[in-house]
Amino acid sequence: MTSLQTAARLAFVGTLALAAATLPARAQETPRIATIDMVGTGMASAAPDMAMITSGVVSDADTAADALSANTEAMSAVIARIKEAGIEQRDIQTSGFSVQPRYRQVKSSSPEEYRSEVFGYRVSNNVSVRVRDLGKLGGLIDVMVRDGANQVGGVTFIVSEEGKLKDSARKEAMADAIRKAEIFAEAAGVKLGRVLSINEQDFGGPRPMMMMARAEAKMDGAPAPMEAGESSLEVRVNVTWELVQP
């Protein structure tokens, strides 16, 4: 072995020894931090100030063309009445349209066998209507049905300022997490240190009130009663603190 090879080998051994000597020191530089995780829950409620109606017309006929013609005439009358009731164009949106054959079972040439045959067509046209004045809701449904809407798919009540409602629930959730964390810290004889992380568990928007109905015939008498009630929203936060010895 040459003197150059010997020197290189000694340098490599020295480097390994130096690295091994520094490992315990580095481990001591990053001690494990004691932490506490806590989940806080916040709720907020508000009275809805808007509603969304899903309604439309279903028309049956022997041919697709006849079904479409009848549906177009009836749906045009419904939309006209919606606008006459004070609903703006921007708050009326087509939410579904379909043309489908109607089938029935008939006996085939064999005694105990049946086959499907088309005996007509069905056209369905639905609109979603945003009602910004809840005082018009019952009357609007009444005039829609009177002028041809034979299907009311649902009424959903909405809180327009959802952001403010959620912010209120967020504050309540954070306060709940702090309160519970302080109880545990006091019982353990430690104190809460700096906050290490905050994570929100999003449950979506307010839980709306939904009504389902189907209008098979024209309605008579007073407008259908509608009760908006309250919509509630839930927010959860997961917070992690560092624990500090007193």
Q: Examine the pLDDT at 217 and tell me if it is beyond 50.
A: no
pLDDT band at 28 (very low <50, low <70, confident <90, very high): low
62 and 137 share one domain:
yes
Look at strands 231-244 and 35-46 and give their pairing. Answer: antiparallel
What is the residue type of 195? V
Q: 43 with 54, same domain?
A: no
Q: What is the Cα–Cα distance from 149 to 143, expressed in whole angstroms?
A: 9
128 and 74, same domain (yes or no): yes
| Domain-located, residue 216 | no
Tokens representing residue 87 in the block? 């609903």
Residues 137 and 191 in one domain: no
| Domain end residue (candidates: 97, 124, 158) | 158
Same-domain status, 171 and 189: yes
pLDDT-derived band at 200, boundaries 50, 70, 90: very high
Shared domain for 239 and 170, answered yes or no, is yes
Q: Are strands 151-158 and 114-131 parallel, antiparallel or unpaired?
A: unpaired
Q: 177, 40 in Cβ contact below 8 A? A: yes
Residues 167 and 149 in one domain: no
Does the pLDDT at position 25 exceed 70? no
Examine the pLDDT at 7 and tell me if it is beyond 50: no
| Residue 10 within any structural domain of the chain | no
Classify residue 207 by its DSSP letter: B
CA distance 152 to 224: 12
Let me know whether 118 and 173 are in one domain: no
Within a domain: residue 178?
A: yes
| Sign of torsion over alpha carbons 17, 20, 24, 30 | positive
Q: How confident is the model at residue 232 (pLDDT cuts 50, 70, 90)?
A: confident
Arithmetic mean of pLDDT, 147-162: 83
Question: In total, how many domains does the chain have?
Answer: 2
Asked if residue 154 and residue 54 are part of one domain, the reply reads yes
Whole-angstrom distance, CA of residue 145 vs CA of residue 138: 11
What is the token pair recorded at 97?
Answer: 């349209």
Among 45-49, 144-148, 160-164, 195-199, name the most confident range: 195-199
Task: Yes or no: say if 192 and 244 are a contact pair by the CB < 8 Å rule.
Answer: yes
Strand 231-244 and strand 191-202: the pairing is antiparallel
Q: CATH no. for residue 244?
A: 3.30.110.170
188 assigned to some structural domain:
yes
**Could you tell me the pTM of the whole model?**
0.59
Q: Is residue 16 part of a domain?
A: no
Average pLDDT value for the chain: 80
What's the pLDDT at 12?
A: 39
Give the Cα separation of 234 and 42 in Å (integer). Answer: 6
For the chain, what is the total number of helices (H) and then of strands (E)?
A: 4, 8
- Rounded CA-CA distance 153/54 in Å is 5
CATH number of 132's domain? 3.30.70.2970
At residue 213, the pLDDT reads 38
99 within a domain of the structure (yes/no): yes
- Identify whether 240 is part of a domain: yes
Which DSSP letter does residue 11 get?
A: H
Asked whether residue 183 is domain-assigned, the answer is yes
Residues 151 and 189 reside in one and the same domain: no
Q: For residue range 42-100, list pLDDT tens digits in order.
A: 998 888 889 998 989 999 999 999 999 999 999 999 999 899 888 999 999 999 999 99
What pLDDT shows up at residue 131?
92
Q: Are residues 58 and 150 in the same domain?
A: yes
Look at residue 204 in the predicted model and tell me its pLDDT.
Answer: 59
If asked whether residues 147 and 84 sit together in one domain, one would say yes
Domain that holds residue 188: 32-47+161-207+227-246
